[in-house]
Chain A
Amino acid sequence: MSLNLRIASLGHLVRTKVTGLGTFTRFFWMLLQRSSIIFSRPRLVSQQIHFIGNYSLLIIAVSGLFVGFVLGLQGYYTLNRYGSEEALGLLVALSLTRELGPVVTALLFAGRAGTSLTAEIGLMKAGEQLAAMEVMAVDPVRRVLAPRFWGGVIAMPILAAVFSMVGILGGWVVGVLMIGIDTGAFWSQMQSGVDVWKDILNGVIKSIVFGVAVTLIALYEGWQSRPTPEGVARATTRTVVAGSLAVLGLDFLLTALMFSN
């Protein structure tokens, strides 16, 4: 390949990516502009919270439990070396509320609810359902996308809270019931060491940001997908890849902003 062709293809790649970013931003703006439906027809949003939340609840709860088990075990092995196994409750709670709760929930959310949203929108597009809505004078962005977006954004912190809660219970089961750490020490260390604003609120903010990112990516990929089985399949894959990378990247940024002194 000649140098000119290489430069041209690099230019094309950059232009495509920048255009894609612009389209994505415009899509986000379009969605926000049409979000008044969440006040005029709140039932549409509550249906989506129920739908998205229900679908993800089991996997979130089970994953939270096992992550809690592992945290309990690993935490105990490490803390035991320094004779501070009473701090296990604090370690489990901080790990879950600050990082693992929001991040793992968002990754699972991208895989479970995100793919479901992308496939649903993509298939609605392929089946001309969105076009049908448009010619019925019903704005599909307002009627279909906006309730799903806000449903995802609201469901995400609730799911993260469930994950953290079940994870802490898992840590308690392993630490207190199986290993025999004093239950009073487990809970009191947690109570005195976890700050509502610094730890829990920051975790909630993280999960809201992840909810916006993952739901937005899932809806965008469905909306932009080619209306063919292959197009929908590719869009679903892109949702998981882009959603997961966005969560991990944003987590680094948010952690740096929130927890740096």
Chain B
Amino acid sequence: MPSRPSPSDDSILRLTSVSLGYGDAVILRDISLDVRRGQVIALMGGSGSGKTTLLRAATGQIKARTGEVLLFGQSLAKVSPTDLQNLRQRMGVLFQQGALFTDLNVFENVAFPLREHAKLSPTDLLARVLDKLEAVGLRTAAHLRVSEISGGMARRVALARAIVLEPELILYDEPFAGLDPISLGITARLIRSLSDRLGCASVVITHDIAESFAIADHVYLVGQGLIKAHGTPDTLGQSTDPYVQQFLNGAPDGPVPFDYPSSPRFDAWLKQQQAVR
């Protein structure tokens, strides 16, 4: 296992001037952010702004084109595959769609990381998994198959699976999507309490302004391929920046266009359609 950072170095995830993309397309550029132990960071932005891409860079699924991604003090560009595996054991990820294993039941889904990485006795494993399921209110759903639970429940099971190894960094991709108001409030408080109780760092990708502002220590606003603004929820709430104001108030008019921009490909397609008719 790679050495854990010293107590004075409490930076868990640090991105410095990072640009990311797929193929020829650059999705994000000049991204810098720092996530420290015990912090809850909210990453907000419109759909397709590249928030999930940022998360994939943090997990080492995609490489930064420029800049540096430091995870637990190690550069992901230089880390060996074995060390990357070791670093990943110290993080938990909640996927946008939950990504539960459909051939396993609820209990086995949550137990999966423990069976793979922790050498626990069957009694300890049962206790640990039921404890995490209880935290998300699904202790008595442990026996159910994934096909028998609702979408909201599936996300809560995925949350239990993400935290079962009690990681030092938890990345949440849209943790509040599809949850009813009660589950949403409990999930938000759970994310905050995990950071407070275990001292883990949390990165929450979300559109939910009220809940994320209530639990986050620092908020980054992503848009147009850049970090447009960042700060504490209070400072962002008081910001006069038109981009921040439009996003927080959900205004149709402002620097962020609602309409998808036109392109030469669309013009060519439209011309072809009109010619056919």
Contact = CB atoms under 8 A, between A and B. Distances in A.
A152 to B, nearest CB: 16
A195 interface: no
A132 B99 contact: yes
A213 B113 CA distance: 32
A123 B146 CA distance: 14
B99 A137 contact: no
Interface in B69-128: 85-86, 88-89, 91, 93, 95-97, 99-103, 112-113, 116-117
Contacts of B103: 120
A174 B183 CA distance: 66
B116 A136 contact: yes
B61 A129 contact: no
B61 A127 contact: no
Given A129-B102, A131-B99, A137 B61 contact: no
A129 B86 contact: no
Contact of B61 (A123, A135, A138): A135
Interface string A124-152: 10011101101111110001000000000
Contacts of A139: 85
Given A136-B112, A138-B116, A131 B95 contact: yes
Interface residues of A, number: 15
B84 to A, nearest CB: 8
A137 B102 contact: no
A169 B220 CA distance: 72
Contacts of B19: none
Given A127-B99, A137-B117, A138-B116, A132 B86 contact: no
Contacts of A124: 101-102
Nearest to A139: B85
B59 interface: yes
Given A127-B97, A129-B100, A135 B116 contact: no
A136 B93 CA distance: 8
A240 to B, nearest CB: 22
Contact of B88 (A128, A129, A135): A135
Interface in B201-221: none
A128 B95 contact: yes
Contacts of A128: 95-97, 99
Contacts of B85: 137, 139
A129 B89 contact: no
A260 B85 CA distance: 51
B61 A131 contact: yes
Interface in A78-137: 120, 123-124, 127-129, 131-132, 134-137
B61 A136 contact: no
Contacts of B88: 134-137
Contacts of A120: 103
B113 A136 contact: yes
B146 to A, nearest CB: 10
A134 B99 CA distance: 12
Interface of B: 59, 61, 85-86, 88-89, 91, 93, 95-97, 99-103, 112-113, 116-117
10 nearest CB pairs, A to B: A132-B99, A137-B88, A128-B99, A137-B85, A137-B89, A135-B59, A135-B93, A138-B116, A128-B95, A136-B113
23 contacts: A124-B102, A127-B99, A127-B102, A128-B96, A128-B99, A129-B99, A129-B101, A129-B102, A131-B61, A132-B95, A132-B99, A132-B101, A134-B61, A134-B88, A135-B59, A135-B88, A135-B93, A136-B88, A136-B113, A136-B117, A137-B86, A137-B116, A143-B116
